[in-house]
Structure 1
Amino acid sequence: MTTSRSTAPHRRFHFISGLPRSGSTLLAAILQQNPRFTAGMSGPVAGLVTSLLHEMSGKNEFSVFIDNNQRTRMLRGLIEDFYADVKTPVVFDTNRAWCSKLPLLATLFPDSKVIACVRNLSWIIDSVERVVRQNALEPSIIFNHQSGGTVYSRTNGLAGPDGLVGFAYDALKDAYYGDQAEGRLILVSYENLTAQPERTLSALYGFLGETPYRHDLNHLTFDAQAYDRRANTPGLHNIRPAVRPLERRTILPPELFQRFSRDSFWTDPQRMRAGVIVL
């Protein structure tokens, strides 16, 4: 017999968001080693929530029959039902859009936390450019810009307000400076996650209120080949089996690399937000 949501054990939801190419897949691969946790790459739940939210808004003539209590139950139920077959007591859902929805998440799941993965924007652009060049024969469908053209046009498309990086960056600032950030939002930098994984995970577990777990940081696995093939971007979510910092030279022209050098606001003491943890 199928277990209904009303009789299912209490499950705690957390959300992974932040900037692209900043370690969210790596973090999910680490967290899913814990038998208490379910975590994965960016999925469809945030998009489903957004669509349902819009359908219950004033754009629909029948919205007069829907009150906020019903909206809350249906949106919460959508997320809970999506993970109804999951057995673990803690679920991490990943999507860059969650940073733009902190007030909604605070309403639906008051005890939830949002982990925002961040990284120097110049290295994010560099990482995306590497993906584009590695798949020169199969233009990716995940970018809101033409993969043809030049590195300059690709960068402008990525950094625009509707671009892969630009939207996520604006959403991150929206969350960081918003009223719900204190005690709910934590920023995990890619640089610290790869260079000091044990220390970063220890702080993250403390923030989540979870008992520390001994992760095997030398034997990580994560299989996203089917999605990457569907997106015409083989290797997009590949992770190395061991957590290590990677030293390399940028493939971006110098002026492009310098263009984003001052955008890591989370490292600027004068721009840091009190009450928000930055790892």
Structure 2
Amino acid sequence: MSRNFHFISGLPRSGSTLLSVLLGQHPDIYCDPYSTPVCSLMTKMLSVISEGEYKTEFTDDKVVNLLKKTMDTYHDISSRPNLIIDNNRAWCSKLQLLDYLYPDAKVICCVRDPVWVINSFERIIGRDPTLSSYLVPIEHRATLHLRVNYLLSPAGAFGFAYQALQEAFFGQFSSKLVLVDYDSLVTRPLSVMRLLEKELNVPSATYDMDNVRYEPPTAYDGALETPGLHEIAPKVEPQRHPLILPPDIVNRLAGCAFWKNSNMNPKSVRII
């Protein structure tokens, strides 16, 4: 069966799990609620294709076929709808590849003020008094400042995603992007879903915003020593949490939500 593919990417702690679950309520859409390995599989496959002794063995058609079959095989479940949305933060760094394989695909990027992204990371890591989360290597866990510095680094969960988002937003394939701001999602969810339905060219559906049913990936979160990483509230509404970051970190992150500045959007990237 030929399937239509779209993608979810963007910043962590910015509503991608919630949005994925809501999209999954649409009868014509299957959406992975958390990251799949497809992007990593394609990346490793491309390293074999483009490097070393086998690089002469691959025609362009063969490369396209292998990569698409990887996606098709991973999602080859007969009960799934024809429109599938794959989820991985690294897709923002692969827009050229996605445009090559799926020229009509949209990449939905969940975004949120970086102050509150880092605040959310610190809250969930700080739930465990032993600070055992693998989101931050043990040598960077001793103080809040060390943890934040790592998260903001290019190797960190936020730093990588933020740089990939900038690459996508300001790059030549930015027309593929649809940004969904976390605050919009939790304050006017139905409006956001209606706009996304138009972007994905699917009919309007009914969504239950008061009873969001979802089975969190406890094994996945447990492997990261970060229980609750993908938990979401059963009702879509703003979650009030105190700011626990010191002023110097807040000041450091102030103004980093570049998508909120219309002067920083010369290509008119769609922002919901």
State the TM-score, normalizing by the size of structure 1: 0.93
Whether 1:205 and 2:188 are equivalent positions in the alignment is no
Query: Counterpart of 2:15?
Result: 23
Q: Secondary structure at the match of 2:196?
A: helix
**Which whole-Å CA distance do the structure 2 matches of 1:75 and 1:161 have between them?**
27
Per the TM alignment, residue 30 of structure 1 is displaced from its structure 2 partner at its CA by: 0.7
Whether 1:38 and 2:30 are equivalent positions in the alignment is yes
- 1:23-72 deviations in Å (ceiling 9; x for gaps): 100001111111221112112111111111111112x2111111222111
Contact 1:144 1:163 in 2 (8 A): no
**Which whole-Å CA distance do the structure 2 matches of 1:108 and 1:127 have between them?**
35
Per the TM alignment, residue 147 of structure 1 is displaced from its structure 2 partner at its CA by: 5.5
Query: Counterpart of 1:13?
Result: 5
Match of 2:263 among 270, 273, 279: 270
Contact 1:18 1:118 in 2 (8 A): yes
Match of 1:178 among 171, 175, 179: 171
Per the TM alignment, residue 148 of structure 1 is displaced from its structure 2 partner at its CA by: 2.2
Structure 1 residue identity aligned to 2:10? G
Match of 1:121 among 66, 91, 114: 114
- 1:179-218 deviations in Å (ceiling 9; x for gaps): 1111x21000111100111111111111111111110011
Contact 1:115 1:188 in 2 (8 A): yes
Change in 2 beyond 3 A, CA 1:120/1:156: same
Query: Counterpart of 2:104?
Result: 111
Per the TM alignment, residue 247 of structure 1 is displaced from its structure 2 partner at its CA by: 2.6
Change in 2 beyond 3 A, CA 1:181/1:206: same
Contact 2:132 2:225 in 1 (8 A): yes
Whether 1:70 and 2:62 are equivalent positions in the alignment is yes
Per the TM alignment, residue 145 of structure 1 is displaced from its structure 2 partner at its CA by: 6.2
Taking only the aligned residue pairs, the percentage that are identical comes to 36
Structure 2 residue identity aligned to 1:26? L
Q: Secondary structure at the match of 2:6?
A: strand
Contact 1:221 1:239 in 2 (8 A): no
**Which whole-Å CA distance do the structure 2 matches of 1:127 and 1:43 have between them?**
22
Per the TM alignment, residue 221 of structure 1 is displaced from its structure 2 partner at its CA by: 2.0
- Long gaps (5+) in structure 1: 1-7
Query: Counterpart of 1:151?
Result: 144
Query: Counterpart of 1:193?
Result: 185
Whether 1:226 and 2:215 are equivalent positions in the alignment is no
Per the TM alignment, residue 254 of structure 1 is displaced from its structure 2 partner at its CA by: 1.4
Per the TM alignment, residue 146 of structure 1 is displaced from its structure 2 partner at its CA by: 3.9
Q: Secondary structure at the match of 1:246?
A: coil
**Which whole-Å CA distance do the structure 2 matches of 1:189 and 1:160 have between them?**
23
Q: How many residues align?
A: 269
Greater share of residues in helix: 2
Change in 2 beyond 3 A, CA 1:232/1:28: same
Query: Counterpart of 2:160?
Result: 167
Structure 2 residue identity aligned to 1:258? N
**Which whole-Å CA distance do the structure 1 matches of 2:22 and 2:164 have between them?**
25
